[in-house]
Structure 1
């Protein structure tokens, strides 16, 4: 109790209240040795250590009453470390303590001299320093408090009052440290200490960490104190566990640590793991799990976590009864939502084996409508699966329900179960016909398409395994990929699709290009050019892969981008300007127009209301402009230096054109947004530019029955 009060007062930095609390504590008659140590350590680590130097002696009577000799020695050591009075009482206590423990040491008197116990003038830290001298032996370990880390004692000399140590953070040579400096910066640690093991025998510690992660984490917390997951990683990664293996190791270790009776695992990942003073019982775990849980959803989540992490809960009738009573307490709640009631009944029946509510459960499932919405509201995955199994068993219309759920339900484990049941029931023709909906409407079922695409790609299904079918799924995925560019809520799925297509250096695409005919590969490149998710570099790689698989594409694709009518090429400035215009229409202009319409409505008769008609016309214009710009924006791509080919006329080139009159006029060819005829910037879609596209320097072309000649070609970015 007092430990937390001291921690709070130290944080508040109120010295008067802190000293008042200290005197109150020292006058108490209850002796808790560990509490005394914890409080003294807090004081020693705080900024108030100097202030407490003259008051810490007040704890001496309490420390002398401690029965456990190890705890008593630690309490006295901390008092002598903090004290600054060097009083007679402290001196005699220190001397008696050292004599009682170490008088048989042949070097006792010399060590007494070294720790300043002969002079009596300043023996602050005498017990700590004496313990350090006792610890100075070859192959023992110490911790350097000023940043050198753990060190192994290589040699020492009492005569020279000097130690030779190799430190983990000082590479290449050993350090010679005087006893005087050692007293200020070194802390003795046993050879079994976590840091000593990490420095002295890292290979053995790595082996233990992989085989017995819980024991190693216990040791870490015992020796170093409470640590967060991030701090544990900093301590272990590379020094014990290689970084590339750490995530997998921690994922497995975390589950075991959570179940350990001696480690207190925080629910908040930012809070530290710590050691408990004793093992936690199953009853205590249950009590902690339900602490503060007031809603049925929270209670079910807590009960599910208990059963998952501690299966022994189901083997103890008293524990099962506690869980079931907690859940049953909500069943009588007035107007309980159907999804909550269903979750509770499923949990009782399926997980706890409570059968007295079975008839109610069957009735609800048999009459259940809006099943997809109910499944969304059920938070526990295992209960979703059990509801589907119950529907399969109890309802004659289960197949139609499953077909509806297949494309809308999440996660994929549930889709796998539904598909398996349907495949076992339906004919091959029916299954293929239903699954073709994914190809016909890829934008309607994004998650489902990506799920089944992976099955087709991996050969997990017997359907759609021919090359043509796989090609259709690739095309559908690219259409979806392009569509998701403008769906911020689908960013995670967009990343998954991108990772699949580009992973292992475009492995799946390379395999497809190698097997597919050239016409399909050309169509693939066209579809991919519309996907903003692919960078310019990605597009170049796709084109190169296609040309490697089908060399004829290298010739056919000459300056292909400049003739691509689907892509709206633009400069970065125009791209940003259009984006801002779209944003302004949607967030400013449309809002203002809505206010105009509302104001005009208030003026009365709408048939003769000119302001109302004008506002409606403005809304129509804004909506049309927004649709047009949004559609263009979906196809827009910023042109870069890598996109511009100067061997023939195309987007991004500045061309000199020899006119029939013998003049040479220069034109820059860009996209629709950048066109400015007065500045001789022409749109690639203009008829004049279309007539010269693909022409090389020196070649002629006709426009409106007149002959023109390309005099020279260069990149507009060179200007």
Structure 2
């Protein structure tokens, strides 16, 4: 081929500088293009000055001889890339049976040195397959035993192949002496520790390394105590592996901790794998007050370092101290964003009693503080956005006033952009729909107040207190216990307790809404020209020609034995604001009932010394599982009656289509309490009882605790606006002016 190439050069079709490159291509038979990969040279056409090459995706590709000489790199037949094209099965077998020979072939093909990353790219997936890590771990151990390879301790360093065989001890000592800095020496020492079983003279090699480490520890223990402490750990491990005695006067971990280096800085500079050992050495150096020092350093640590510190505190029985410290930092809004990030990730039952709305408020404060200090990363904010359950869990047991404050704080917080704020506010609205007007800026729809007796109002407050201060905390403790059983997917106690938690929180929201609407009164001196709350009405059932007497009282009053009806019930709504002689009718389950009013009298007459208070509705309880006791008769003095003026009740409209359960379409003259269910439940009310109950104020049944656990929840305090309200003047829809009521609660 030389003569033919020289004739082309003489004819001016080739440049003389291309001759040597073309001769190497002709002799090798394989070439490498930087874009098309390895190619097999099929032949040269000296007449037209072209060469034909088979590339993986370009078979039979034709190139100009001059361009081929400049762009192609010749590959010998023994080159690894060339062998992949014609002998791939043999290479795969070599990788399984003799991996050291395969690595030697690859490294020699690239000039005797090759990085680990390049080696992986060349072998995976054609030769080695997908299980690279497992293959390399076993091959790496074999390469160390082979005296021709220098396996680096750091990934960026290349794998070296040496023609002369060098013992492993000599190679490791040479690497240790050549390492720059104590950190690099510790990497070689760790490799020496792993290679001890393969060394012929392990104790002698380790003794040389220990002497050098002691010198470096002495020079670093003041300037870089974290590095000196890590060197002490390595020195002790090497000595223990070969059973060598300690040298007199050498520095120990207690000598390093005696200088009082900052614990958070020590953890930050030390690898995570050594954190547990570092904290254990700190505990041994300060046996009396180590936990106080760890607690003091928590607020300046990263979330990753906090994990190991908290684990050590819990294992040593300092969980309560940890919780008190966290609660103090959260309540004072001094907790760092990293500490709160760790707490948000943890969220275990052990910390359930401090996880509440105040934690989210502290998170906003911490992020604003980081923003003021120009901290670039906002890992806490990113986690809040990513974890869909975090915000709902923190606010699930909060009071409405607290939720309103948090919503306002989030709306004006500079920590999130508008899109992220919408996402977080949407999670709040999903949990508390009543926050929608506050977020959107719409005027909330004001609901008409509920006229209730002081006795029924007190019972509702007692139920609310029982729920907030006893049942919900018990729910928290029981769910924590159920979680400890493990396997939540098949944990019946946990599922039952979670369902009870949902019922408790739903009932709590209902009571808060009703108590906000409630307006207490004693129904003294009502209007008697028309039917109004606080009057007793004698009626005639026009269908059966029977006389019935009803007492129209508050929204939560119901007593079928005494004929007490709520003014919100269908019957109460039909009677309200009608005079003597008026005929009223209402429809119940498709049947129309007609009554004629014969007389209207005040229920609590000023001339009566003793009045009877209506009993509680059957669904109200004063404590868990106990039915409310009927209120004792109240004594109304004439002075109290004289001090009150007449009050008019608003005519509340019953919801259309309210579902009422009835056993008979016609109300009977005798009203009896519904019989108790044999299993402790309640049967459906009769037709008359259905007319007495409020149509638009359904009352939830008493919440019974199942035989399960409860999830931990923060104990909400009773809101200030749920205190017993002073009676406000109530006016009826009748345009006739009515004097305001000055009635006061009994006693």
Bucket of the pairwise TM-score, normalised by the shorter protein: 0.3 to 0.5
| Higher RCO (C-alpha under 8 Å, 6+ residues apart) | 2
When Rg is computed on C-alpha atoms for both structures, the one with the higher figure is 2
- Taking structure 1 as the reference length, what is the TM-score of the superposition? 0.45
Structure that is richer in helix per residue = 1
- Taking structure 2 as the reference length, what is the TM-score of the superposition? 0.43
